[in-house]
Structure 1
């Protein structure tokens, strides 16, 4: 035991002497604290924990002046800070929330605080500043309004409704997903709806208006269901698609491409950077051009929280690619993760979109360079090799997450994703070009959308396209262990290869 302690202290001392490794350790400690936060919800109290963190930080800073023995205490302090930050994100005990006012029909009023999602037969929005029977109540409310009267961001609405608690369905923790966004109750059938225009919507309202205008423009140049499909790729969401088509996406394991996540935005950014690097712009100008286009996309997509997170992940990918050095890339990704968790610690365990974004971005940064040589037979023209390699890596790495949350395995998913994902960035680009230049330029987008939807429909019709797994979470853990083991073996083989090359060079 003593030898193990000495060995660990030596490792920590070595880490503390390396700025890059120190940054990695500190950022990872905070993220680990957030990760274990749910297991320490009631221990100790939040303010006691804050006092312990303050003491450890002061002690560590004092100790670090003379030697590195204070570094473990600093790591512990950062870990406890992450745990404390998670506790602060929970609803305080004894506070009356919307979840406590469910069950009976009651008068509700509030302000629409999200972009309005218009579906085939309803319009859905999130309310804040909610009052129930005239009294302010803590929490946000998800409301499914009828198509009329029309509601918009910042409108003040009042209605009668029987509030409901969100519930999991088909093994998916829908209640936890909504809780991570502050939504504590649902209203499915509001009655006697009164809508009054709110105050000036400000910049957020301008973003939503821009997104709505662009979405309308897209529907002018593309017919359905292609307009809804391309809109889902660009802005996220599948609400406008028919129920049958949404089931086709689910059965083929391609629903993720209709979410505004770092999954497809990162692949799009990587492909864009690859194309710019092959152009006369070169690497540095290509990075700048990619970043400008990425920022424009965030604005066009309405700058919603999901889009902002996707943009941040893609931006981290671009910055890491520009840094070239792997330690820098690792710290950039961890810093992005830590900042997001500092803003909302519930994302890590409760938001599947965030998990897919982070896993896909990490895969593109650290796994893709190790396996891209396996795709050398594919042509490099138009970024085809990069598109297929990156999409394949993203699908494999995110498989445990999809298994854990949805418990459904699409046997057709690997093949369908191999066909569809490489062309998603091109369809996104063609969709934007069609919005700008009109129907003639939108024809290639229509043709590509038709081909991709046709592939999805053909594979969805197969009887073995999708199957439900009884022990999905066990399978997810096994898949995760297998992926981690494979990555460790690849890393070990890479280290051994470098050692042999070094010895050979020394002999020469």
Structure 2
């Protein structure tokens, strides 16, 4: 099998996942298409009917169609499963109910905590799926706590619509698919809570909260909240006004756990390992281990794990292989994730942004480097600017469809914040290390960490205060989003081939 056949089968699989996520394809049509593709593949080996070139085209098309059929079958299975779960919840929406379950995730939001609850029982009957609610913080409420809720059950997609009616802002993105990917089928607004079994935090969770307390003790606000978010994933420790400013200027992905965040941490760890004299292979393995420890410390968030796997595959494929190896590794990562859970393709915004950002760095960035190769690159500033522009262009369709806002100065703010980001990570880690090992040294490190943290947040505050810094885009349909995304992928693929041909010539 030729090496370019497998990537095409991967593309066919993802196309099938996409189609199967949008509609249920009749089994008869699916079977007929699969049989036709298999017959075409078998007939293509007849030298009497096809030339060698024609036979290769038929085989490639047949294998791509077969992969697509399996993708549709996999996605349809998940779609029908979700519809079955939805039906069991339908009789209870809009009614008071008592629900018992186990807390699977607890996200602290100031004096409140947002809970995702599984292993649910409703009227003494087990029900599948998750329930999401927000309750006041309490010492006994946390991961693995068994609680009983009393309140009115609502559809999860109703809450954003209520918020939209209250604020006058339109609903963005496909929230229903986002909730389905998370397997959230119901919500309760501020229910009565009774704790049956208090939370039993793991050792890593206790360590994480202890380190958070150290940061909040050693650093003043808002720098303490910034480092708590950067290093320990307590992004709600950052004041809401600063979070909004970071989101409006396009640098929130550096604060919250995301693909960019994980990739930046891995890059800093790799640079330090190489600077310390380790070989590139040893440094790569050290970086992988460090990233795994970091993900464990922040509780293995789903978005972080997926982004870490994808960034790691692409990083090491590019490091140990060629440019094309990075693209194949990216495709492999997305194919595997979609095989495990087909809902991620349309329902995981974080994965979409991470995948497109990496794709932009592998395709659009080399083209921009070739176009602007005559411009000097002191301290690699040109490369940093072009990297930022490539990532911004690649993620533009998702940003427009999901958020409806385009930060006008996004590339510049990302460049400035990106330069500070490695130093923030290093200083934050140093504050934690000295607080544990040599508390007297913390007084020397903390002022510099505070100064740099305030500078990072100052970028967001000052840029967000500029009139017209944010372009608001009217809501777009899913069809428009998918069309623009496919067009961008095709154009990017064509552009990334030009520098190689130009160089060869």
Q: Same fold (TM over 0.5)?
A: yes
Change (3 A) 1:211 1:143: same
The SS at the match of 2:12 is helix
Please show how residues 427-506 of structure 1 align to structure 2 within 5 Å.
427-438=424-435, 439=442, 440-470=444-474, 487=492, 490-500=495-505
Does 2:217 align with 1:220? Answer: yes
Structure 1 counterpart SS, 2:235: coil
Conserved 8 A contact 2:265-2:422: yes
Shift of 1:234: 3.5
Confirm or deny that 1:280 pairs with 2:277.
yes
Q: Distance in 2 between matches of 1:368 and 1:70?
A: 33
CA-CA distance at 1:210 after TM superposition: 4.1
Report the count of equivalent residues.
473
Deviations 1:286-332 (A, max 9, x none): 32232222222222221121111121122012212223313322221
Gaps in structure 2 of 5+ consecutive residues: 47-54, 165-169, 436-441
Aligned to 1:23: 6
Change (3 A) 1:51 1:249: same
Q: Does 1:33 align with 2:33?
A: no
| CA spacing shift, 1:246–1:310, aligned 2, 3 Å | same
Shift in Å, 1:363: 2.0
Partner Cα distance (2:322, 2:90) in 1: 48
Distance in 2, Cα, partners of 1:385 & 1:271: 20
Deviations 1:97-127 (A, max 9, x none): 345422122111101112x111112111211
1:136-215 maps to which residues of 2 (within 5 A)? 136-148=126-138, 150-167=140-157, 168=160, 169=164, 170-172=170-172, 173-197=174-198, 205-215=202-212
User: Separation in 2 of the partners of 1:311 and 1:369?
Assistant: 23
Give the one of 314, 318, 336 matched to 1:317.
314
> Residue 278 of structure 1: CA displacement?
6.1
Match of 1:127 among 102, 111, 117: 117
SS in 2 for 1:377: coil
Q: 2:253 maps to what in 1?
A: 256
Aligned to 1:233: 230
Structure 1 runs not aligned, ≥5 long = 1-15, 501-508
Distance in 2 between residues matched to 1:72 and 1:481, nearest whole Å: 19
Q: Distance in 2 between matches of 1:489 and 1:37?
A: 28
TM-score where L is the length of structure 1: 0.82
RMSD: 3.3
**Aligned partners of 2:232 and 2:298 also within 8 Å:** yes
1:259-270 alignment to 2 at 5 Å? 259-270=256-267
Deviation at 1:141, TM superposition (A): 0.5
Task: Quote how far apart the aligned CAs of 1:453 are.
Answer: 0.7
Q: For residues 370-404 of structure 1, what are the alpha-carbon distances to aligned partners after superposition, in whole Å with 9 as ceiling and x for unaligned?
A: 43464863443xx7666554334222321221111
Q: Does 1:82 align with 2:65?
A: no
Normalised to the residue count of structure 2, the TM-score between the two structures is 0.83
